[in-house]
Chain A
Amino acid sequence: MSVPFGPEEIRILLVAAGLFVLGAIGFVTRRNLILLVLSAELMLHGVSLSLVTFGKIHQNSEGQAFTIFVLTVAACEAGLALSLVLSLYRKSHSLDIRLWSELRESDVNPPDQGESLPAAVSTSAYDGIPKLTPAGVAPVGTAGHP
């Protein structure tokens, strides 16, 4: 049984790759929290389209079954992301992700130093939010080494 894998499937796979890439660009470049989540959903669309096409190439239903699980996880992710965004918005009254740049690890430079950063949220907003523990071990002889 030969498998149909021709230009039709190749171009659908390329469209899927394009959707994924566009979502990745949006996720990195935009500053609105809602648009970040929507960009992640766009990436999931690309992955779903690839899975469906692979399932058609192999003539079985596994690709579509996986896509249903992707849909499930996307729905969970959307709900969790929405509640997280709401919780962040209640503290900063803005959807700007730059306000939360203090959440990065302490030894990482602030993003895009050429531009003046907006005033970060007050430190009391971080109460109750788990902080990242510093990862790794400081080299011997540095100040951080015990």
Chain B
Amino acid sequence: MNSWMQQHPATVLGLVLWAIGLLWLMPGRKSGASRTPRTGVLIAVAGLLSFFAGCGKSNSDLASEVMFWVFATGALGGGVLMISSRNPVYGALWFAIATLCTCGLFMLQSAPFLAAATIIVYAGAVIVTFLFVIMLAQQSGAAGYDQRSQQVWPASLGAFVFLGSMAMVLQSDPPRYERVEIVAAETPAEQPGTMVALDPTKPVIAPQPPAIPNFLSRADSKAPVGSMKGLGRSLFGDYLFAVELAGTLLLVASIGAIAIAPRREEGAL
């Protein structure tokens, strides 16, 4: 751990600054009006930038580099401001920012379909309905319980120690992860032209398919990673039963939501 801290001072500094900024911004036990949020935002953003700078130099080109910095800072900064916002409406809007930036990171990781699907599901459905509920429930603005938070210090300490340990594992030198060599498993090819005598006493065993797990999910030149074709082959080839199960799950969840939600005759909100 000491060597990691010496080799990556920017990461450690970033984590500490980020935690300080978050603790500064969190709604306090008292009203917290004495702390200006701008200072906390500056500390947290400085911590975030230092944290990313500690991740090492990358070899990508300038455009994707700029996009990574913008989206990563937006996602994590939006997350910080979401969990520390005193008004839940602003919290939901910061969550929308974090979602959009996460979708940008999806695009960088060659997942354009997922980015679009996530934006549609979250921005189009989740955030809008939650904003409806907030505005319906808190018509007089932020309530008193939004000005307080509970167990901030233990939660932040544990969470940032967890994050630091993950950074330590990911940045360890020599790396503790193993490079996975993807080797196409090949079936032993039958020698052409040889005849195999069938033994009538033994049952005839059908030739087994090649032992490649989830073979439709592998990327090739026709269906590269992230393309609609490759994703569709994976979903409706390897994971067809799981797709059917997911549809069943959606049906059950919608029935359950209708059953739990208040009836009209029980009185409106």
Cβ-defined contact, B130 with A62, below 8 A: no
Given contacts A72-B249, A95-B137, whether A8 and B51 have CB atoms under 8 Å apart is: no
Cβ-defined contact, B149 with A29, below 8 A: yes
> When chains A and B are docked, how far (Å) is the Cα of A63 from the Cα of B230?
12
Cβ-defined contact, B125 with A64, below 8 A: no
> When chains A and B are docked, how far (Å) is the Cα of A54 from the Cα of B218?
13
Most buried by B among A61, A68, A112: A61
Cβ-defined contact, A26 with B145, below 8 A: no
Given contacts A34-B130, A42-B98, A68-B235, whether A14 and B167 have CB atoms under 8 Å apart is: yes
For A84, the chain B residues whose CB sits under 8 A away are 260
The secondary structure that dominates the B interface is helix
Cβ-defined contact, B56 with A95, below 8 A: no
Interface size class of B (residues with CB under 8 A): 35 or more
> When chains A and B are docked, how far (Å) is the Cα of A37 from the Cα of B82?
12
Given contacts A12-B109, A21-B163, A90-B262, whether A5 and B231 have CB atoms under 8 Å apart is: no
Number of chain A residues whose Cβ lies closer than 8 Å to a Cβ of chain B: 78
The answer to whether the Cβ of B50 comes within 8 Å of any Cβ in the partner chain is no
The answer to whether the Cβ of B45 comes within 8 Å of any Cβ in the partner chain is no
For A76, the chain B residues whose CB sits under 8 A away are 249-250, 253
Cβ-defined contact, A30 with B83, below 8 A: yes
Of all chain A residues, the one with the shortest Cβ separation from B80 is A22
Cβ-defined contact, A18 with B163, below 8 A: yes
Cβ-defined contact, A13 with B170, below 8 A: yes
Partner of A28, one of B51, B143, B155: B155
Most buried by B among A31, A32, A95: A32
Cβ-defined contact, B106 with A49, below 8 A: yes
Given contacts A29-B83, A68-B235, whether A41 and B133 have CB atoms under 8 Å apart is: no
For B246, the chain A residues whose CB sits under 8 A away are 69, 72-73
> When chains A and B are docked, how far (Å) is the Cα of A58 from the Cα of B177?
13
For A11, the chain B residues whose CB sits under 8 A away are 52, 55-56, 58, 68, 72
Partner of B145, one of A12, A31, A65, A71: A31
Cβ-defined contact, A59 with B218, below 8 A: yes
Cβ-defined contact, B182 with A1, below 8 A: yes
The answer to whether the Cβ of A89 comes within 8 Å of any Cβ in the partner chain is yes
The answer to whether the Cβ of B12 comes within 8 Å of any Cβ in the partner chain is no
For A42, the chain B residues whose CB sits under 8 A away are 79, 82-83, 95, 98
Q: Mark B227-249, 1 if CB is under 8 A from A, else 0.
A: 00011011100110010001001
> When chains A and B are docked, how far (Å) is the Cα of A42 from the Cα of B75?
10
Cβ-defined contact, A61 with B234, below 8 A: yes
Given contacts A7-B55, A32-B88, A111-B150, whether A98 and B145 have CB atoms under 8 Å apart is: yes
Question: A65-B238, A71-B121 given. 14 additional CB < 8 A pairs?
Answer: A2-B181, A17-B166, A25-B159, A32-B91, A32-B145, A38-B92, A41-B122, A48-B118, A61-B223, A61-B234, A64-B226, A73-B246, A78-B126, A115-B29
Chain A to chain B contacts (Cβ below 8 Å), 8 pairs: A30-B149, A31-B150, A32-B91, A34-B134, A41-B126, A48-B106, A61-B218, A83-B256
Top 6 closest pairs, chain A to chain B, by CB: A26-B83, A76-B253, A11-B55, A7-B56, A61-B234, A22-B79
Give A contacts to B, CB under 8 Å: 1-3, 5-8, 10-15, 17-19, 21-26, 28-32, 34-35, 37-39, 41-42, 45, 48-49, 52-53, 55-62, 64-65, 67-69, 71-80, 82-87, 89-90, 94-96, 98, 111-112, 115, 118
